[in-house]
Amino acid sequence: MVAKLRKELGFTLLETLVATAVGMVIVGTGTMLFQSANKMSQSSLTRSDMQQSARGAIAIITRDLTQASIGIPQAGINVPSGAGSTAALYGCGPAQCYLKTGTYPNNLLAPVTPGDAQGASGTDAVMIAYIDNSWPVKNQDLTALAQDGSTITVNNGTFDLNGNPAPSPTGHAYDDPVFGSRVGDVMMVWNTNGYAVATVTSIAKNGVLNLNNGDPLNLNQPAAAAGNIPGLRNADTTYPKTSAARINVVTYFIQTQAGADGVVGTADDIPVLMRQVNAQNAIPVAENVQSMAITYDIYDDSTSTYKTALDGAAVLNSSEIRKINITLTLVPPAFSNSKENYTLTTAVSPRDLSFKNRYE
């Protein structure tokens, strides 16, 4: 009878403790494995996102760099300088300038201008210039030009994107809402006396583009001794046959933006790669780009010497640039548990800078 009762008593305390301990070990091991797998999955997803962001950013920069110098002089265009002038700028929008200085070396708007340590936290920047072939009146002769260069009058007909006359909807006018002129555009003006650049400050009727003094880029300086539209006049102060086209002055740089707390200068700040065109506001290209490092390969025709991987500050003549080497480093977003950075490097040789007709 006693033996039968003992069989009906169930587990002993020791057996219960052992079973509980074994169960906890199994549950704990399963939880750890789940957390580890989840962490690995998040880390892999974060790395994939960083790779896509880096490749996308490199693709956008490369697209602009491959067009450097197309439609503009390889040696660059003089910007306002000399007596009566202030420093012309790049990397400035309607409300602010994004770089530390953003001035033009040698007073030249070159196809590629290094911005050594011009971005946030001493990161590099770069400015790229080329013609904008989407402007409806590409390479059209001006119908009028103010004596002081404060206005230019373009053909107000409709043209296709190849610059050929075409009726609407194929053709687009100078003030077309999509393809037409905008405030902040940079115009290249040229004739037999040379080239100049100016910023559109307002758009009027009948093909008139105003280029008033005080633009964000300081390009409209009629009183400057050199590098302005009045400098394209003949000795008798008249203008020869003169043409104009819109160009793109594109600047890439890193800017620190506020994180979740809305305050710049705190731990959750986000480094963002920005793209800014002419005198427009900059727009983001990719977030969490901690660093953009750019070096240059140059070729000196006079000495037939080739130098590689020069910092921007060591490039004294932008027309000698033959290749641009770019390294982007991205960091994981603040909410990610990943601590692994991602670095992508590429090199671009703009056709109009790398190939030269030496048989002329």
Q: How far apart are CA 284 and CA 282, in angstroms?
A: 7
Phi–psi pair at 38, nearest 5 degrees: -65, -40
Name the amino acid, one letter, at 342. Y
Per-residue pLDDT, 359: 43
Per-residue pLDDT, 360: 45
Flag whether 17 is in a domain.
no
Q: What is the DSSP string of 39-50?
A: HHHHHHHHHHHH
Are the beta carbons of 203 and 191 closer than 8 angstroms?
no
Flag whether 325 is in a domain.
yes
Local confidence pLDDT in tens for the 360 residues of the chain = 555 555 555 667 777 777 787 778 877 777 776 566 556 656 667 778 889 999 999 999 999 999 999 999 999 999 999 999 999 999 999 999 999 999 999 999 999 999 999 999 999 999 999 999 899 888 789 999 999 999 999 999 999 877 888 988 889 999 999 999 999 999 999 999 999 999 999 999 999 999 999 999 999 999 999 999 999 999 999 999 999 999 999 999 999 998 888 888 888 889 999 999 999 999 999 999 999 999 999 998 888 899 999 999 999 999 899 999 999 999 988 766 667 899 999 999 998 887 655 444
Flag whether 273 is in a domain.
yes
Beta bridge partners of 38: none
Per-residue pLDDT, 256: 94
Instruction: Count Cβ atoms below 10 Å from residue 61 Cβ, excluding itself.
Output: 24
| Domain encompassing residue 334 | 48-354
Which residue do the tokens 């200068």 mark? 265
Phi–psi pair at 72, nearest 5 degrees: -125, 160
Spatial CB neighbours of 260, under 8 Å, sequence gap ≥ 6: 268, 334
Instruction: Count Cβ atoms below 10 Å from residue 55 Cβ, excluding itself.
Output: 14
Flag whether 124 is in a domain.
yes
Angle CA 244–242–132, to nearest 5 = 15
At 59, list the tokens: 């693709």
When divided into structural domains, the chain yields a total of 1
Flag whether 29 is in a domain.
no
Flag whether 161 is in a domain.
yes
Query: For 64, which DSSP code?
Result: H
Per-residue pLDDT, 43: 66
Q: Output the CA torsion sign for 80, 81, 86, 87.
A: positive
CA distances from 118 to 115, 121, 144 (A): 5, 9, 39
Q: How far apart are CA 330 and CA 273, in angstroms?
A: 10
Per-residue pLDDT, 161: 79
The answer for 301, left when phi > 0, alpha when psi is -120 to 50, beta otherwise, is alpha
Per-residue pLDDT, 265: 82
Flag whether 176 is in a domain.
yes
Strand (E) or helix (H) holding 23: helix 13-65
Flag whether 30 is in a domain.
no
Per-residue pLDDT, 222: 95
Instruction: Count Cβ atoms below 10 Å from residue 31 Cβ, excluding itself.
Output: 10
